[in-house]
Structure 1
Amino acid sequence: MALFGTIINGICIIIGCIVGLFMTKIQEKYKETIMQGIGLTVILIGLQMAFQTKSIIIVLLSMLSGAFIGEFLKLEHFLNKIGFWVGSKFTTTNEQVNITQAFITASLLFVVGAMAILGALDSGLRGDHEVLITKGILDGFASFVLTTTLGIGVILSVIPVVLFQGTIALLAAQIESIIPEAIFNEVIVELTAVGGLLIVAIGLNILKLTQIRVTNLLPAIFMVGVILYIYHSFF
């Protein structure tokens, strides 16, 4: 079953969120310090991913083109509208911002990264779900911690996680046949690096040091493949 690993990943996130909901009543000073610890850890994770790059030029071009596309499409505004709409169904107006922040932060953390892509490919091609199950356990702990500070909005991240990984798993055979192995491995490395920078941006936002529109930078992930395809086609 190609989607088994993805389903387990989603279930782990949901369980982590449910357990985390019982810890949301802790004092604000504890929440603030916990969030600072999360922010610093997220930055470390992002830097470790970003330093894997073999070509700064590819990363730079991906970020620049991705930023242009994201701003043009107003992705941040679109996702915020979704977050506010969902939040309006469950919360008061004052809590809707937290729903949106939790949804976007958790979604980016759980979707961006090599484990999501490689794990989904393993599930689809070989029926090997070990990577996604491992990722699910990690995401479960992360969703628990995030829920204690950001609230119920974290559980909404299950939707993009399942859609993203599930789509890759179902299309795995086609992806492997279209992209040569050498190029695919290069795409994974640079995609991980670009994803790492986005995660660093999330960490900085969590620490309230910046207000980077991370969602508007998301197209950079997809531009990695486009730029590398153009490069290998003409050079």
Structure 2
Amino acid sequence: MILLGSLVNGLAIILGSLAGFVLRNISEQTKDSVTKGIGLGVIVLGIQMAFKTTSFTIILISLCSGAIIGEYLKIEDRMKQFGLFLENNYSKSDSNFAEGFVTASLIFVIGSMGIIGAIESGVSLQHQTLYTKSVMDGFMAIMLTASLGTGVLFSAFPVFIYQGMITLFASVIIRYIPQELLDVMMIEISSIGGLMILAIGLNITELAKIRVSNFLPGLLILIMIIAFKFYYF
């Protein structure tokens, strides 16, 4: 089953979120400490990923250009509006619903593991990478739900859709992309994703307030720049 890895990932987030409901009675101080710990871990992960780049100039150009587009399209605001829509319909008493949905969606979606794993599923029907990511996301979902509430559970759906689309796309298009170009793309996508994950970690630890969603168009810009450079330089 070509989408099995993405399906397992989504189910892991749902199960982790359900487990997180049980732990919501732990003290606020404990929740805060664990959440800050997750934030620190996310920061370290983001830094490690960001340093994989071979051209930081391209990463910065893509990130800043993506931010301009994202701010114009108001991606962050629209994601929050969608979260508030779900809150109004499914969670009348959870004031952190939108924050939980947006934060968890970004944490679970952005990163090289999800992209590489989805491509792996589409190309070879091997799901081990996404299985590993599922374990990580499941435990992350427990603490995020305990801290941020119901919105975390609903992040399973964009994760499944996002990774599923990459898997289906990879199963068709991969045969037309030179392996050398694909290798470079995965390194640079991991790097720009690392910077976004770093920003998420700063948000979680409350060291900054960065509208990370508005950087997402930078991924597409990065891919176009790398492809242009590969074919014409």
TM-score by length of 1: 0.95
CA offsets 1:144-184 (integer angstroms, 9 cap, x no match): 12111111111111111111111111122322123221111
Aligned position for 1:64: 64
Q: Distance in 2 between matches of 1:130 and 1:118?
A: 11
Name the CA distance, whole Å, in 2 between partners of 1:199 and 1:209: 14
Percentage of pairs with the same residue: 42
**Who is 1:20 aligned against?**
20
| Distance of 1:117 and 1:155 partners within structure 2 | 21
Tell me if 1:220 matches 2:226. no
Written as runs of structure 1 = structure 2, the 5 A alignment for 1:99-178 is: 99-178=97-176
Secondary structure of 2:104's partner? helix
Separation in structure 2 between the aligned mates of residue 134 and residue 160 of structure 1, nearest angstrom? 18
Alignment of 1:86 with 2:125, yes or no, is no
Matched, 1:42 2:42: yes
How far 1:55 sits from its partner (Å)? 0.8
What is the number of equivalent residue pairs in this alignment?
233
Give the whole-Å Cα distance in 1 for the aligned partners of 2:165 and 2:18: 26
Partner Cα separation in structure 1 for residue 158 and residue 47 of structure 2: 23
Q: SS of the counterpart of 1:24? A: helix
Q: Is the 8 A contact 2:39 2:201 kept in 1?
A: yes
| Partner secondary structure for residue 23 of structure 1 | helix
Structure 2: state its 5+ residue gaps: none
How big is the shift at 1:47? 0.7
1:76 is aligned to 76
Q: Is the 8 A contact 2:31 2:143 kept in 1?
A: no
Which stretches in structure 1 are left out of the alignment for 5+ residues?
none
RMSD: 1.3
Deviation at residue 130 of structure 1 after TM alignment: 1.1
Q: Does 1:187 align with 2:223?
A: no
Query: Matched residue of 1:171: which SS?
Result: helix
CA distance in 1, matches of 2:71, 2:149: 28
